[in-house]
Amino acid sequence: MQLAKQFGCKTIVTGGKGPINLVGAELKKAVSKFIEQMKPHLEIAEETGVTIAIENHAKNLIDSPDSLRYLAKLCPSKHLGIAFAPYHLPQDANILAALLRGVIDSLHVFYAWEHGNGCMTKLPKEEEQLQMPGRGKLDFAPMVSVLKDHNYSGWTEIFMHPFPRGVPILETTDQVTSETNRSRAYLDMILKKA
């Protein structure tokens, strides 16, 4: 966080820590324990002006809608928040919008990213790109409406994972720029309609 401060970086995204596949009271207790473990880090975050945004990620303590709700509800500091990744959640636009509405005050990063056909195996580029907003089946309009209704002004990242990791999403810089701008135009269009 000291290095992030030197570079003017205001947000760091990371995962949670703790057991996985918990539900109900056990999940709430584990999220509470994780937040307690974060307190020394939050002191440094507050000193440096950095926010730690926890991504809901598969095979992680913070991976489910309930875990996100508990994180938002129990959060003791504005320097701890959520990096909301629709890819790792149920691919239902209304469920995602309702969840986003419930955690919006803790939102620091919104990944404009859907599951499509996934990113864990080799797929044709056209199928990989179904992770991009406006390419796959997920309607981003309900989520964008929530963001607009709450005047969200945090980070939004148009995102996808190619396979294998580390390769570009398309062959040339111009193609990558064009694909990203296509998704941005889709998001701009639904933002104007919201």
Nearest by Cα to 68 from 36, 34, 41, 93: 34
What whole-number distance in Å separates Cα of residue 136 and Cα of residue 113? 10
pLDDT at residue 153, rounded to an integer: 95
What whole-number distance in Å separates Cα of residue 8 and Cα of residue 18? 30
CB 120 within 8 A of CB 166: no
Per-residue pLDDT of the chain in tens (194 residues, 90 and over written 9)? 999 999 999 999 999 999 999 999 999 999 999 999 999 999 999 999 999 999 999 999 999 999 999 999 999 999 999 999 999 999 999 999 999 999 999 999 999 999 999 999 999 999 999 999 999 999 999 999 999 999 999 999 999 999 999 999 999 999 999 999 999 999 999 999 99
Q: How far is CA 172 from the centre of its chain?
A: 26
Cis peptide before 142 (omega within 30 of 0): no
What pTM, to 2 d.p., does this model score?
A: 0.96
Domains of the chain by start residue, with CATH:
2-193 (3.20.20.150)
